[in-house]
Amino acid sequence: MTSNKDLIEKIMQLKKEKKAVILVHNYITSDIYDIADYIGDSLDLSRKSANTDADIIVFCGVDFMAECAKILSPGKTVLHPKRESTCPMAAMAEADDLRKKKSEHPNASVVCYVNTSASVKAESDICCTSANAIEIVNSVKEKEVLFVPDRNLCAYAQSKTDKKLIPWDGYCYVHDVISIEDIKKAKESHPDAHVMVHPECSPDVISMADAVCSTGQMLDYAKKSSATEFIVATEEGMCARLKREFPGKKFYPVGGICTQMKEIRLYDVYMALKMNQFEITLDEPVRKRAKKALDRMLELR
């Protein structure tokens, strides 16, 4: 069996030969951090996708993230190393259902979380991420906003705006099950730790946070905070990223595992580069419409 060291050497060689860039989400297994050109949250990686001069983008994240890269960089080859690495929350919103909901709320602007398919983005007015949802909601001129698909992120944004938000009944299965009891137990064990909570968590969990943060914002908060211990309410892989960046601080996970993110292994990245598999392709009219929603977001933030 090929060792991780050998795989990394082969991947780095192929990356150089093919002028490829490897984008890695924070939740991916930490061994893949070693081959990454960029590690970040969906907003960070959306920007990298739009601005890279590479010929090939290898996206180590779930399916909608690789689609975003193709939407923003249609002239580039975008490879998603593992077909099974899909986002269950993104699958909770379909374009036909969104069109029906839009007809029921004709005066509402449609804000869609990036955790959606290209076809849903194409039916939306503007995209958002967990890092900028409040700013995006407040940027639209309409007083009503149809917010797709995460009900918890919608509830958090609703608490920060005077607009009327209409939630979709979608959720992240990792964040949605984190409970107040989980936070309380962690606080009992680590009373001096600051609590960082992802806005995909439920409102009652968010109410216990010292900071409500996207994964990228968690890095900023941990860097700037005088605290040396943190309870981290998000997918547990984020703690590996935080420990990598701040080895002198301690991080305690209370979230579970996104099994879909963990599907991608070093061997999958190697095979993606070696065989040019699995390439993301999109219907061009859908891609163009989806790009308008993403571009509007990127222009604001």
* Domain annotation for the chain: domains and CATH numbers: 4-86+261-281 (3.40.50.10800), 90-172+285-300 (3.40.50.10800), 178-253 (3.40.50.10800)
The secondary structure element, H or E, covering residue 150 is: none
- pLDDT, tens digit, for every residue of 72-109? 999 999 999 999 999 999 999 999 999 999 999 999 99
- pLDDT, tens digit, for every residue of 131-168? 999 999 999 999 999 999 999 999 999 999 999 999 99
The secondary structure element, H or E, covering residue 39 is: strand 38-40
How many C-beta atoms surround the C-beta of residue 204 within 10 A?
A: 11
Contact 172, 255 (CB under 8 A): no
Beta strand pairing status for 126-128 and 144-148? Answer: unpaired
pTM of the predicted model, to two decimals? Answer: 0.94
Q: What are the CA-CA distances from residue 154 to residues 131, 148, 161, 203 (Å)?
A: 13, 8, 11, 10
Q: Any idea how long the chain is?
A: 301
pLDDT beyond 90 at 43: no
Q: What are the CA-CA distances from residue 141 to residues 109, 163, 235 (Å)?
A: 8, 10, 34
111: CB partners within 8 A, 6+ apart: 124, 125, 126, 127, 128, 133, 136, 137, 140, 145, 146, 147, 148
